[in-house]
């Protein structure tokens, strides 16, 4: 994933990465390369909701209900490890 993001970074002024996954992925290496990282959990039939926020029809909102691991050494996430994004990290409406 890092190689692909590096190639795209050279071709654009602003880079938005949309991450569709069913679990937290290790994204620590790509964060400095992107302007925006959107993590959308396998939206299925609710893909319209992802499009709504990407096109500005609705605000981005959401908070993590777990700690997002910084690297593979934290998987499974250790209680005493400092996560990349802690429980409750995110955006709220308003």
pLDDT tens digit sequence for 6-47:
999 999 999 999 998 888 899 999 999 999 999 888 877 778
Residue 42 near residue 55, CB atoms below 8 Å:
no
Residue 69 near residue 49, CB atoms below 8 Å:
no
**Residue 85's beta-bridge partner residues?**
68
Outline where DSSP puts E strands in 10-84.
Answer: 16-21, 36-41, 62-63
For residue 93, the tally of other CB atoms under 10 A from its CB is 8
User: Which domains occur in the chain, in start order?
Assistant: 2-91 (3.40.50.1700)
pLDDT tens digit sequence for 32-86:
999 999 988 887 777 888 899 899 999 988 898 888 999 988 888 766 788 999 9
User: Which alpha helices (H) appear in 10-93, and where do they start and end?
Assistant: 47-54
């Amino acid at each position: 994933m890092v190689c692909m993001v590096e190639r795209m970074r050279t071709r654009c002024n602003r880079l938005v990465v949309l991450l569709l996954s069913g679990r937290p992925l290790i994204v620590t290496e790509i964060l400095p390369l992107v302007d925006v990282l959107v993590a959308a959990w396998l939206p299925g039939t609710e893909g319209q909701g992802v499009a709504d926020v990407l096109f500005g029809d609705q605000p981005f909102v959401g908070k993590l209900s777990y700690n997002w691991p910084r690297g593979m050494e934290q998987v499974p996430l250790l209680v005493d490890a400092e996560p990349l994004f802690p429980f409750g990290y995110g955006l709220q409406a308003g």
